[in-house]
A and B are shown apart, each in its own frame.
Chain A
Amino acid sequence: MHQLTITEQIKKLKDKTFSSVELTQHYLARIKKYDSELNSFISVTEDAALEQAQSADQALAAGDETPLLGIPIAHKDIFCTDGTPTTCGSKMLENFVPPYDATVVENYRRAGAVMLGKTNMDEFAMGSSNETSFFGPVRNPWAKDCVPGGSSGGSAAAVAALLTPAATATDTGGSIRQPAALCGVTGIKPTYGRVSRWGMIAFASSLDQGGIIARTAEDAALMLNTMASVDPKDSTNIPKDVPDYSASLNNRVNGMRIGVPKEYFSDGLHPGTASAVQEAIGTYEKLGAKISEISLPNTSLAVPAYYVIAPAECSANLSRFDGVRYGHRCENPKNLEDLYKRSRGEGFGEEVKRRILVGTYALSAGYYDAYYHKAQQVRRLIKNDFDAAFEGVDIVLGPTAPSPAFAFGAKGADPVAMYLEDIFTIAANLAGLPGMSIPCGLVDDKPVGLQLIGKHFDEARILNAAHCFQRETDFHSLTPKDIN
């Protein structure tokens, strides 16, 4: 059952080959079998899942046509779930049980999906390796001594190990695409504002965007149909109709104009990654796409600009964790200031504290212009690069991450080395563009990701390009050798 795509599972549920309870039990059993080692889930909601599956079976028997009826999924533990703990990978929220559902969670519930549990992540989505999670790192199913990427490492590892057909995720600087690349799965970060951020715990509000990790572009399109919505509760959500992303998957790639940025093939790129991406470009050429080299001249400034903007926004957003209304509270506070300082000092991990401090510094009196204002200007230069490129091409294509999965601890001591993991993904967040990662090869038995970046609200086109690639290749159907 777990080898089937979601589209196939829906068909089998409808023709009664198996029930939603059977499908759900099957995934729960797989989680039990594999996840004590992988640690991709923070919580597994077995009882609630089986209840939801039972209701789905009744609705299926009654001929209900709800799109994802009876399909098990997992949510990144950043999405608030009413009555189910939502930790954001932090000690700060270890015992936090949200009093409401995120819009994304509600959308999937309404579509009939069954929630298997909540997936592990870097603390407050700050990290590219899942090593900052308070609940311990996630192992990459392809190489268990290596990281799964981050921050949505739990979602990516769970999909890669076939513990769930799909999982929700979020991407502020690459947190969907980079773990999807490192775990050999398909991930899409939609245009900023396409998916509601209501109930999605905020990190950097002008960059955060929810999206999906699945095995194929076809499944990702199907899942995005439910995830994307117009939500009056999120004032940054763009009120634009959601197209049917599944409808255009098979459009011909023949004639599609694909731009390959020369800056994405710099010295830092792993040679194995470079050749896998070059081969993928060859596949597109064979499909009739018109490939051209383009330039995004400000590429090297994306990481520096991001590490002003994201920490600045995070320092403001995370001020809500004050030990008063929810979350961790220190013992025996002497006074209110002591309550704030110790609750936050104890509740946040090192990377989160580092980013709050960098952000506070960048926004402090006398430094605002030199850091924040400057970074916002550079952000525009980066967006202008894409605007110019998209005058001549339909999509931009390149590597997702500079190398395949790296070993635990390899970048632990040096925050900047870790930040450079997102060197190819961050620009899409700064410019608000949709981006995807799809598997395009293996290097030393570890997956390589191909990144596709589209114009604003052109998710359908990158999904179409990804699906056509997956019809020609079988990298997306490879599974880790220890996973049956």
Chain B
Amino acid sequence: MEPSDIQNIAHLARIDINASVAEETATSINDVLKLVDQLKSVDTEGVTPMAHPLDAIQRLRADEVSEHDVRDKFLGIAPETEDGLYLVPKVID
């Protein structure tokens, strides 16, 4: 992975990576990828991927109201709110 690839991935992850550390970040990520590349040599033909340690499936429940309204409590911890809504910079002109 090149420093320019890092910027692409950082964009996908919506993380600002300072250009001055891009090279260092690329080096350390390449070290991790080298470790991970050991997987390539393993024969996994026909092996079912394992998503859950107990192969459990999603547990469903009846669609019933179980929580009371905690809107104000949740809005209370937001960085910026207005009229009961989360405030972000203008998206559409």
**Smallest beta-carbon distance A426→chain B, Å:** 12
Are B47 and A377 in contact, CB atoms less than 8 angstroms apart? yes
Tell me the bound Cα distance from A383 to B48 in angstroms: 12
CB < 8 Å neighbour of B49 from A207, A239, A323, A377: A377
Are B77 and A357 in contact, CB atoms less than 8 angstroms apart? no
Kindly list chain B residues whose C-beta atoms are within 8 Å of the C-beta of A340: 14
Are A416 and B35 in contact, CB atoms less than 8 angstroms apart? yes
Are A380 and B88 in contact, CB atoms less than 8 angstroms apart? no
Among B12, B15, B40, B51, max chain A CB count under 10 A is at B15
CB < 8 Å neighbour of A414 from B1, B31, B54, B58: B31
Map CB proximity to A onto B32-68 as digits: 1 under 8 Å, 0 otherwise.
1111111110101001111111101011110000000
Are A323 and B53 in contact, CB atoms less than 8 angstroms apart? no
**Smallest beta-carbon distance B64→chain A, Å:** 11
Verify if A364 is at the interface (C-beta below 8 Å from B).
Answer: yes
Tell me the bound Cα distance from A345 to B10 in angstroms: 9
Given the contacts A307-B36, A325-B86, A377 and B59 also touching, CB distance less than 8 Å: no
Given the contacts A236-B56, A353-B17, A376 and B36 also touching, CB distance less than 8 Å: no
Verify if A279 is at the interface (C-beta below 8 Å from B).
Answer: no
Given the contacts A329-B80, A381-B42, A358 and B32 also touching, CB distance less than 8 Å: yes
Given the contacts A344-B14, A357-B6, A357-B10, A377 and B48 also touching, CB distance less than 8 Å: yes
Given the contacts A304-B38, A357-B9, A206 and B53 also touching, CB distance less than 8 Å: yes
Given the contacts A238-B56, A326-B78, A357 and B13 also touching, CB distance less than 8 Å: yes
Map CB proximity to B onto A322-363 as digits: 1 under 8 Å, 0 otherwise.
111111010001111111111011101000011011101110
Output the nearest chain B residue to A95 by Cβ-Cβ distance: B77
Kindly list chain B residues whose C-beta atoms are within 8 Å of the C-beta of A356: 13, 15
Verify if A96 is at the interface (C-beta below 8 Å from B).
Answer: yes
Tell me the bound Cα distance from A14 to B38 in angstroms: 57
**Smallest beta-carbon distance A195→chain B, Å:** 14
Give chain B's interface residues, CB within 8 Å of chain A.
1, 6, 9-18, 25, 28-29, 31-40, 42, 44, 47-54, 56, 58-61, 70, 73-74, 76-80, 86, 88-91
Shortest Cβ-Cβ A-B pairs, 7 listed = A432-B53, A345-B16, A376-B49, A329-B79, A377-B44, A380-B50, A341-B16
Give chain A's interface residues, CB within 8 Å of chain B.
96-100, 191-193, 206-207, 232, 235-236, 238-239, 298, 300-301, 303-305, 307-308, 315, 319, 322-327, 329, 333-342, 344-346, 348, 353-354, 356-358, 360-362, 364, 370-371, 373-381, 383, 414-416, 419, 429-433, 456
